[in-house]
Chain A
């Protein structure tokens, strides 16, 4: 069973109109046929009762003078006058048959039970009529008629056929009209729906949905366009703010860092030395956050430039693993898999940034564990680097979202600080290298993968 809500608006409109017109026409034709048939029946009853009255009046003297032959001759006239009458019978006041007539080729007549006490009665095929013969206010007999209703059957059949054909024609026309008219409503709605879907998918607010109407749909589209404009404007302002803020924060931060590093070198006295080093550690954290913001801002404004050159991947891996190992007191970072022995064409510093980010995430999101494994794979076309941890993992519904800007996991119970920008920047960097980045997680830990095309790949050569 198809739910009405699942049918598209376009089809719903068509269905509604066709359904309505079928019901309306059905009722109209039904009433039309019923009244027509009833009025035909009433006319038939009236004319047959009149005929019975005439026959009765004309047979009064025949009954009075005991001359059934004369009555029979009169009834015989019915054969030419009214061929639809199959049987006619005149009875005397005792109910005995006085004279009767049967159309040639028909059975004998018996007064039907349905007629008892009535002036007329219908069966499927016949009409029965009875009328008393009255002379000087005294009933001296009764006339009975049986009328074959073949004409009525034909009329009913004809009307049904006609109604059926008209209904079909109406159905076709209402369908055509519905198909034509629904466009005015559904096309515009669909345009809006498609725009929404596109924005939802790509996140890009391109241009306003065009519409020339003045109805509610037009209002909806205008409101939607206005809303999109505002969103675009606020997004732009936010990006601008992030850009300016990160830039403005970075300058004094660099200067602070410089002085604190100098202080660190100069100061040997405890606990002053310890305080300086704590300060330096936090300055480094702050610097990373500001750099992330700056990177995002560059990505947004398209100012992120890659410095492409050849470098040795094994060497880079060693460097970054060592650097991460130095800052981690809890985890051991282990390399698995054969050496790659492969030169990669790319921005060494940016790839390093990706690796550092993934490694620090792996450590951050596996509290209480003690290993992070770096695996490497080489195929004909690309290198694949896998960073495996045994931590809390990533829920399936979040696996695509975690690469979005400012995305913070809702399901993670542990509090982990950060802007939620790292993976977004990683994805952008890897995408710019024509690689792929993705996560695999089955509940116990997660594996962050990224691939880099080998330098002989045609896509890289083009750049």
Chain B
């Protein structure tokens, strides 16, 4: 584990204990979300969709999270695979990812993005109501703390399994 990632985690953890997310700048929030995404992967079972050699995280829409993800990708591996991040501007690229992060600034309609995903792709968003609308995980801020919603139907229809240790921390939504 290199020094950069250690510093990064320190910042993340220290930040989380100071509590107030809205008071933090956008980059810190992005770092925290990137760390959460990285930790999600430890509890998700990709099953038959576990492709070899690389793990691709696609970011739809312009977001500082891409830098945070790059920092993680530089020092860590997921399921013993190299992490590749990419910013997606062409909808056809959506189906090439293992995780699709839909940022706040995404201008594509959610339904359109979801229709482009293939089974085995984990969708993560960061806007209120998106989990109900069909993304697997959706970041929300509750009492100034970063939490996440989980849509169990979306997870299972994507052909994935989420670990109970993860789901016990999630706010479960049931609508599609």
A67-B165 contact in complex given A61-B43, A94-B13, A136-B42, C-beta closer than 8 Å: no
Query: B163: which A residues are within 8 A, CB to CB?
Result: 61
Identify the closest chain B residue to A135 (Cβ): B42
Interface assignment of A60: CB less than 8 Å from any CB of chain B: yes
| A residues near B166, Cβ cutoff 8 Å | 61, 65
Chain B residues closer than 8 Å to A64, beta-carbon distance? 39, 42
Q: How many interface residues does A have (CB within 8 Å)?
A: 15
- The binding surface of chain A is classed by DSSP as mixed
Is A58 part of the contact surface with B, judged by Cβ < 8 Å?
A: yes
CB closest chain-B residue, reference A57 = B165
Mask, B1-26, CB within 8 Å of A = 1, is: 10000000000010011000000000
Q: Shortest Cβ distance from B23 into chain A, in angstroms?
A: 16
Which residues of chain B are near A92, meaning CB under 8 Å?
A: 13
A287 to chain B, nearest CB (A): 133
Contacts of B32 on A, CB cut-off 8 Å?
66
Is B169 interfacial (CB 8 A cutoff)?
A: yes
Taking a contact as CB atoms under 8 Å apart, the answer to whether A61 and B165 are in contact is yes
- How distant is B169 from chain A, measured CB to nearest CB, in Å? 5
A62 at the interface (CB under 8 A from B): yes
Residues of chain A within 8 A of B39, CB atoms compared: 61, 64-65
Q: Is A96 an interface residue (CB 8 A)?
A: yes
Q: For residue A96, which residues in chain B have a CB less than 8 angstroms away from its CB?
A: 17
In angstroms, Cα B1 to Cα A64, docked, is 17
Q: Is B145 an interface position by the 8 A CB rule?
A: yes
- A395 proximal to B (CB < 8 A): no
Q: Cβ of B169 and Cβ of A61 under 8 Å apart?
A: yes
Closest to A97 in B: B17
Q: Which one of B1, B32, B42 has the greatest number of beta carbons of chain A within 10 Å?
A: B42
How many residues of chain B have a CB within 8 Å of chain A?
18
Which residue of B has the minimal Cβ distance to A69?
B145
> Inside 8 A of A67's CB, which chain B residues have their CB?
147, 169
Contact between B165 and A66 (Cβ–Cβ < 8 Å)?
no
How far apart are B124's CB and chain A's nearest CB, in angstroms?
13
CA distance A94 to B16 in the complex (A): 13
In the complex, what's the smallest C-beta–C-beta distance from A352 to chain B, in angstroms? 131
Centre residue among A65, A92, A138 by max chain B CB count within 10 A? A65
A92 to B147, CA, bound (A): 19
Distance between A390 CB and nearest chain B CB, rounded to angstroms: 120
Is B176 in contact with chain A by the CB < 8 A criterion? no
Q: Which of B145, B148, B169 has the most chain A CB within a 10 Å cutoff?
A: B169
B96 shortest CB reach to chain A, Å: 27
Q: Is A70 in contact with chain B by the CB < 8 A criterion?
A: yes
Q: Across the interface, which residues of A come within 8 angstroms of B16, CB to CB?
A: 66
State A92–B43 Cα separation when bound (angstroms): 20
Closest to A136 in B: B42
Q: How far is the CB of A463 from chain B (nearest CB, A)?
A: 122
Asked if B146 is at the interface (CB within 8 A of a chain A CB), the reply is yes
Distance in angstroms between the alpha carbons of A188 and B153 in the assembled complex: 100
Interfacial chain B residues near A138, Cβ < 8 Å: 1
CA–CA, A60 to B145, complex, Å?
18
Question: Can you name 13 A-B residue pairings with CB atoms under 8 Å?
Answer: A61-B39, A61-B169, A62-B169, A64-B42, A65-B148, A65-B169, A66-B16, A66-B32, A67-B147, A67-B169, A94-B13, A96-B17, A138-B1
Residues of B whose CB lies within 8 Å of any CB of A are: 1, 13, 16-17, 32, 36, 39, 42-43, 145-148, 163, 165-166, 168-169
Listed in ascending order, the chain A residues whose CB lies under 8 Å from chain B are 58, 60-62, 64-67, 70, 92, 94, 96, 135-136, 138
